[in-house]
Amino acid sequence: MTKNKKEVNIETRKGSTMDEWPEPIVRVQSLAESNLSSLPDRYIKPASQRPTTIEEAPAATNIPIIDLEGLFSEDGSPDEAIMAQISEACREWGFFQVLNHGVRPELMDAARENWREFFHLPVNEKETYRNSPKTYEGYGSRLGVEKGAILDWSDYYFLHLLPLHLKDFNKWPSFPPTIREVIDEYGKEVVNLCGRVMKVLSLNLGLKEDEFQDAFGGENIGACLRVNYYPKCPRPELALGLSSHSDPGGMTILLPDDQVFGLQVRKNDMWITVKPHPHAFIVNIGDQIQILSNSAYKSVEHRVIVNSEKERVSLAFFYNPKSDIPIQPLQELVSTHNPPLYPPMTFDQYRLFIRTQGPQGKSHVESHVSPR
Ligand code: OGA
Ligand code: NI
């Protein structure tokens, strides 16, 4: 216990030095609008990371699509066939699309289009909301603070919805005028959906339905939103909109652009381009659920490619454990034959690695293994 405490302090000290970005921030939107004929070096990925270095799956391949209609009957008992589809998707893919998920299609469209309008504001009007690596809240253009890093071709906006003491409307945009209200409602609906999915995740592992939720801190979970804006890119074959990563949190509910593809999911040694179904959400397992499930569920690598024809907007909603409780494999899921693969760590501690290093495939969760 004492040892753990000491480690936390070291991490906190490291964190507090990250008050500013290591280099002046350049908005990708500004670069895209300056009619560049070539791509600035900062955005040229090494050959091994470029979009075409790993084979792409045949165009028709897609992640599983699961219809949630009738998932919970009136008496609260879940539908076994839908549960089985979710179980397989979490184990084999770490990613799936859901239909009839209970969030109104009009609300989904309003959420995305309000953000599109925000990103279409002139860059200088968005600078009021510029973020720092301390909390990441606000308008940003890089992840990670490593000096000289090759950057991704995207701008973003990051904000907290839960816990309530972190939700601060002053850190949310005030334009378009409807954006705060729409995002607030959207957030509540998506939290609701996450609650239902969490029950299924527990039941599918033979646990009581509230077990995952309780391990996340019950009502005290965290929820935040990252809105990604991927401008048109002059040399899309050399860049990435978002580098390969797994999501550090619990579970992500992604609302993709309704017109433009871009998200790719790694399956075996291929990249699968997700073909979003109209008004579906894309659900994916994050590192914290992989850890709680002792790796029964997989937090899978994904990335975003860009194109020279069209911009793309996506909303990534992160459903996270309460940030100061240790997350470790659930006791019922480990035994002498199936020992815990991960030592306990709070999400606060875990997130610091990511915030320092930026997206790096699955290296974060893979380095966080129990000593053998
Ligand atoms: C993310 C993410 C995918 C996308 O924000 O973590 O993976 O399609 N986004 O923008
Ligand atoms: Ni992601």
Q: Are 240 and 304 in contact (CB under 8 A)?
A: yes
In 3-state terms, the chain is what percent helix, strand and coil (to 5)? 35, 20, 45
Tokens of 316: 């990534």
Judged against a pLDDT cut of 80, whether residue 344 lies above it is answered with yes
What is the C-alpha separation between 279 and 108, in angstroms, rounded?
7
Instruction: Kindly identify the ligand whose nearest atom is closest to the C-alpha of 361.
Output: 2
Distance in angstroms between the alpha carbons of the first and the last residue of the chain: 20
- What does the pLDDT look like over 312-325, one tens digit per residue? 999 999 999 999 99
Would you tell me how many other CB atoms lie within 10 Å of the CB of residue 63? Answer: 24
> Given the CA of residue 314, which atom of ligand 1 is nearest to it?
10
Distances (CA, A) of 144 to 59, 86, 238, 254, 356: 33, 33, 20, 21, 5
- Domain containing 141 equals 41-368
Ligand 1 centre to CA of 304 (Å) is 7
Domain containing 236 — which CATH number? 2.60.120.330
User: Is 158 within the bounds of a domain?
Assistant: yes
Judged against a pLDDT cut of 90, whether residue 368 lies above it is answered with no
Residue with tokens 């008496």: 75
- What does the pLDDT look like over 135-164, one tens digit per residue? 999 999 999 999 999 999 999 999 999 999
Tokens of 39: 């791509």
Judged against a pLDDT cut of 80, whether residue 13 lies above it is answered with no
Judged against a pLDDT cut of 80, whether residue 371 lies above it is answered with no
**Residue 106, C-beta contacts closer than 8 angstroms, at least 6 positions apart:** none
Q: Are 102 and 192 in contact (CB under 8 A)?
A: yes
Instruction: Kindly identify the ligand whose nearest atom is closest to the C-alpha of 143.
Output: 1
Q: Are 239 and 153 in contact (CB under 8 A)?
A: yes
Q: What is the mean pLDDT of residues 344-371?
A: 81
User: Is 246 within the bounds of a domain?
Assistant: yes
Tokens of 168: 């601060």
> Given the CA of residue 284, which atom of ligand 1 is nearest to it?
7
Judged against a pLDDT cut of 80, whether residue 7 lies above it is answered with no
Judged against a pLDDT cut of 90, whether residue 187 lies above it is answered with yes
Which residue has the least CA distance to atom 1 on ligand 1?
A: 316
For residue 328, what is the DSSP state? -
β 95-99/65-67 pair status: parallel
Our count of domains for the chain comes to: 1
Q: What is the mean pLDDT of residues 165-182?
A: 97
User: Is 5 within the bounds of a domain?
Assistant: no
pLDDT at 56: 76
Judged against a pLDDT cut of 70, whether residue 4 lies above it is answered with no
Is the peptide bond prior to 163 cis by the omega test (within 30 degrees of 0)?
yes
Task: Give, for ligand 1, the residue of 227, 228, 265 to mutate: max count of ligand atoms closer than 8 Å to Cβ.
Answer: 228
* Ligand 1 pocket, residues with Cβ under 6 angstroms: 226, 228, 242, 247, 254, 256, 262-263, 302, 304, 314, 316
pLDDT at 36: 87
User: Is 77 within the bounds of a domain?
Assistant: yes
Residue with tokens 């409602």: 185
> Given the CA of residue 154, which atom of ligand 1 is nearest to it?
10
Q: What is the mean pLDDT of residues 228-239?
A: 97
Which residue has the least CA distance to atom 3 on ligand 1?
A: 263
User: Is 24 within the bounds of a domain?
Assistant: no
Q: What is the mean pLDDT of residues 323-338?
A: 96
Edge-to-edge strands, sheet with 270-273: 242-245, 302-304, 263-267, 270-273
Collapsing DSSP to helix, strand or coil, 331 comes out as helix
What is the C-alpha separation between 262 and 29, in angstroms, rounded?
17
What is the C-alpha separation between 180 and 224, in angstroms, rounded?
14
- What does the pLDDT look like over 16-37, one tens digit per residue? 457 899 999 999 999 999 988 8
Ligand 1 centre to CA of 169 (Å) is 23
Tell which wins on pLDDT, 76 or 306.
306
User: Is 14 within the bounds of a domain?
Assistant: no
Q: Are 169 and 180 in contact (CB under 8 A)?
A: yes
Q: Measuring CA to CA, which residue among 32, 31, 49 is closest to residue 149?
A: 49
Which residue has the least CA distance to atom 5 on ligand 1?
A: 316
What is the C-alpha separation between 107 and 66, in angstroms, rounded?
20
User: Is 284 within the bounds of a domain?
Assistant: yes
